[in-house]
Structure 1
Amino acid sequence: MVPSEVAIMLKLRDKSIYSDGKAAPVALLDWYDIGREILLVMERPIPCEDLFHYIDTKGGTLQEEEAKIIMTQLIHTAIDLEDRNIFHQDIKTDNILIQSHSNTPQARLIDFGVSCLAEKDSILRGFSGTPINAPPEAFKGFCSPGSTTVWQLGVVLYETLHYRGDFSTMDFLEGDLMIDSELSEGKKSSFS
């Protein structure tokens, strides 16, 4: 038996996912089954930091143009994962690395630990990602790969454009989160 995270990472070895314009997953180099644990040997892009800390180093929010570059890469990758029937389940700023070796940030998706194989329109019982970012339907005991991925990308967008924008689905559902009034009209409509 191959653990699901390893199987998914092996499925992602296809070079087409590493093309420009995508937030390519960090590559699995090797893996070892050492009894009760699995040891993964992963690529380590240098220099890089997770998107959460990257936003913090930029003063707590990103400029709209930079957020657009990162989000475009994430969207292309989400589409590619969906085409491969891979449901990440935990897309968040902590699980996105930003390589800063050039003027244009390069996003890299990490942590496939709760990912699974599922078709985009399937309905899954429960939700395995980070609870604070869970899609609204997760509170009813189910989720769907397509809509959950879109929700999580929206959470990432919110957190990139809002100063100290820690998103909470419950706060959103209760109407306690507001869209920054200084965002351009195009960006505001992304949240509608």
Structure 2
Amino acid sequence: MEVLTRAADKLNISWLADRQQPTTSDDNTQEEDHRGALNYPDNDSASTSADTGSCNTSVEVVGRRGNKRKVTSTESGPRRKRKRRLVTEDRQEETKQKEFEAKYEELDPIGKGGWGSVYAGRRRVDNLPVAIKHITEVCYKHVDIKGKPIPSEVAIMLNLAAESEGASPYVSILDWYQLEGQLVLVMERPMPAKDYNMYLHEKRIKEEDEAKIILRQLVDAALDLESKNIFHRDIKLENLLIETSLDVPRVRLIDFGASCFNNKRIYTDLLGLDCPEYHMRIGDRAGPTTVFQIGVVLYDALHTEKRFDTKSFIQGFQCLPNRISKDCKDFLQMCLRVHPNDRPTLEQLRNHQWLR
């Protein structure tokens, strides 16, 4: 019994000595290394912390004097990585800005809309006339086949450029740049050309036969967009460019900023587009809304006094133009029916007697 007691005492003394033994230099070095790794993370540790989502966890470290200090991962890796990423984005935008300025020269303003401005310009290498559009607010995003979001206007114009054959009824996109706070589109600029509103204003004499030439091309362009599953949504005089270099005026449809890929659904975000659907709060659909907008273009092309106003038309305070043929009047009345379900299809418009 006495032997067992002495053995137990020796074990207790040995254990106590181990507890009171001073920390070795190796342990101190290990602690210093650990603390240094927390305070000054390398790239790998910062990247891992951000990727694994551990920015809310904290690590408890014992200081030299025994006081405890909490160091969170948000003090180190992710914040430094975020700064590096912002610097990289700034440099990329600066590089794109220099690339744009080296390739194109921007000249005088030629147009302004709700979300941006358009300037005349030229391509430096061959003096090709271009239109440069600066967009400060991108309304719609499209996800491409690689899962990357790009502006819908860019996606649609690239789609039209890829699928167009021969003489396109649309102005083509040449380049685009995502710069700081704005999207820049570089497009072809046909010359000589004027938007339809200016063209009518300068012509003064509004003839039904010439309006028929313009409308026939416009209906064909709308049918082509429908076949490509694209909804322009903002067809009006200002968005029709008329080339005047040929014997017959040629129509070029511009400004796809409000357009989208048509999914056969009703769009309720009408962005103030002036059509009965907006005033009735029932949403617009590609076919019927496009037909109505074509009717408004024809009305403004023939009317000699004032522009079409949808609200006044719905209330019965606006009449059809005078001195037009019976077929033209029938075509116009079909387009301007108030309820979308009562309007003809684009195909029916194209086969109308007035356009033959």
TM-score computed with the length of structure 2 as normaliser = 0.50
Q: Which residue type is aligned with residue 179 of structure 2?
A: I
Q: Is 1:122–2:262 an aligned residue pair? A: no
Match of 2:198 in 1: 53
Match of 2:57 in 1: none
Match of 1:171 in 2: 312
Question: What CA distance in whole angstroms lies between the structure 2 residues aligned with 1:57 and 1:174?
Answer: 31
1:21-72 residue CA offsets vs partner (Å, 9 max, x unmatched) = x7x111101000102211100100000000000001111x521111011001
Match of 2:179 in 1: 34
Match of 2:103 in 1: none
Q: Is 1:160–2:301 an aligned residue pair? A: yes
Equivalent pair of 1:17/1:80 in contact (CA under 8 Å): no
Q: Which residue type is aligned with residue 42 of structure 1?
A: M
Equivalent pair of 1:17/1:77 in contact (CA under 8 Å): no
Q: Does the C-alpha gap of structure 1 residues 113 and 18 become closer, same or farther in structure 2, counting only changes over 3 Å?
A: farther
Please list every run of at least 4 consecutive aligned residues from structure 1 whose deviation after the TM superposition is greater than 3 angstroms: 14-19
Alpha-carbon deviation of 1:178? 1.1
Match of 1:184 in 2: 325
Question: What CA distance in whole angstroms lies between the structure 1 residues aligned with 2:290 and 2:215?
Answer: 13
Alpha-carbon deviation of 1:184? 1.1
Q: Comparing 181-190 with 144-153, which one deviates more in the overlay?
A: 181-190
Which of 227, 237, 244 is equivalent to 1:100?
A: 244
Q: Comparing 174-183 with 49-58, which one deviates more in the overlay?
A: 174-183
Unaligned runs of 5+ in 2: 1-148, 334-356
Aligned to 2:300, what secondary structure does the other structure show?
Answer: helix
Task: Give identity over the alignment, percent.
Answer: 42
Q: Which residue type is aligned with residue 52 of structure 1?
A: N
Alpha-carbon deviation of 1:16? 3.4
Equivalent pair of 1:55/1:62 in contact (CA under 8 Å): yes
1:112-143 residue CA offsets vs partner (Å, 9 max, x unmatched) = 01111113x42112313x53xx2212221411
Q: What are the equivalent positions in structure 2 for 1:44-83 lying under 5 Å apart?
A: 44-59=189-204, 62-83=206-227
Question: What CA distance in whole angstroms lies between the structure 1 residues aligned with 2:179 and 2:203?
Answer: 40
Alpha-carbon deviation of 1:15? 5.2
TM-score computed with the length of structure 1 as normaliser = 0.90
Match of 2:230 in 1: 86
If asked which structure has higher relative contact order (CA below 8 Å, sep 6+), I would say 1
Match of 1:8 in 2: 156
Q: Comparing 178-187 with 100-109, which one deviates more in the overlay?
A: 178-187
Alpha-carbon deviation of 1:181? 2.5
Q: How many residues align?
A: 184
Structure with the higher helix share, 1 or 2:
2
Q: Which residue type is aligned with residue 137 of structure 1?
A: E
- Provide the alpha-carbon RMSD of the alignment: 1.6
1:131-157 residue CA offsets vs partner (Å, 9 max, x unmatched) = 3xx221222141111111001000001
Unaligned runs of 5+ in 1: none
Equivalent pair of 2:275/2:292 in contact (CA under 8 Å): yes
Q: Please say which structure displays the higher CA radius of gyration.
A: 2
Question: What CA distance in whole angstroms lies between the structure 1 residues aligned with 2:270 and 2:181?
Answer: 24
